[in-house]
Amino acid sequence: MRVLICGGGGFVGSHLAKKLYEDGHFVRVVDIKYDNYLKDRYYSQKAVLDLRILSNCYEAVMGVDHVYNLAANMGGIGYITAVNAEVMRDNVLINTNMLEAARIAGIKRYFYSSSACVYNVYKQTTPDAPALKESDDIPAAPNEMYGWEKLFTEQMAMAYEKDYGLPVRIARFHNIYGRGTYEGGREKAPAALCRKVAKAKNQDVLEIWGDGTATRSFCYIDDCVRGVIKLMESDYNKPINIGSDRLVTIDALADIIIGISGKKLTKTYLPAMPEGVKGRNADLTLVKQVLGWEPVVPLEVGLAETYKWIDKMVNGPD
């Protein structure tokens, strides 16, 4: 198979490309910039292209069978609550252009990476909020502009399948973590906490955004990649959750990471900082039925791997 990974310089895109490349596929990666966290070669071809420009999208899809579109202007809760117009503009341009280029090129299958941010905010108001089913996106009321853009693009992708026969696959990611962005403002909570703990000395104070009671579920990158590939191989063409259904508080997440580090730290809370919705968990009923997929990497194991890598990035090798 000849595949294109848009966003192949980023976190999920690079790990997905690595798996497909190791499985023997021709893998073209395209991005506007590359994090270069993966040191081993993970692609057949590499290009630097701005996918907000339609002609670049035509160039990207030339000669491939499948497209995995993970390209996006995105980041952690601090970023997506502070940057609104730029996020929506850039992502709508990328996704509109890529769908049109895929249509013109006759792409055999098209994957779009959506987000749990599409879900109705009023279903996520308490730490013990019920796990989110795929049908909980309607009536529409995402918490951030990022979520509105994701929901719009899901509908556009399905319209391209309905009107033009472009086969689409859509995954709603729930807090994917692992070896990826850990500083600069675009990192997610697990990476941010790993970085803070790695930098801390014994008896230091660890700052936690919010009051620590907000809840999330977290899915390790290896599980995510496996789920994406199973979805792409399937005949299911509606949005589906890829995540974990183990709900933990941000406070408990911090405790796990502190425990992994072996340090003795005290915690302080910054309730004025953004924390997003109060509770978000993934209902995995549909994905288990349709794909036979569920996460298998325990949170403690995935966090240990993530912390070990971030500690090395922050402090250097032992």
Q: How far apart are the first and last CA of the chain?
A: 41
Catalytic residue among 21, 43, 112, 146: 146
For this structure, is 146 an active site residue? yes
User: Please, are residues 35 and 11 in contact by the beta-carbon 8 Å criterion?
Assistant: yes
The whole-angstrom separation of Cα 282 and Cα 278 is: 14
Kindly provide the residue ranges of all beta strands, DSSP E only, lying in 143-237, ordered along the sequence. Answer: 168-173, 176-177, 205-209, 215-216, 219-220
Q: What is the CA radius of gyration of the chain?
A: 19
List C-alpha distances in Å: 282 to 136, 164, 181, 285, 287.
11, 31, 23, 9, 10
Q: Checking DSSP bridges between strand 205-209 and strand 266-270, what pairing results, if any?
A: parallel
The whole-angstrom separation of Cα 221 and Cα 296 is: 11
User: Please, are residues 240 and 287 in contact by the beta-carbon 8 Å criterion?
Assistant: yes
Which residues contact residue 211 at a Cβ distance below 8 angstroms, ignoring those fewer than 6 apart?
A: 269, 271, 275
Percentage helix, strand, coil for the chain under 3-state DSSP, each rounded to 5: 45, 20, 40
Active site residues: 146
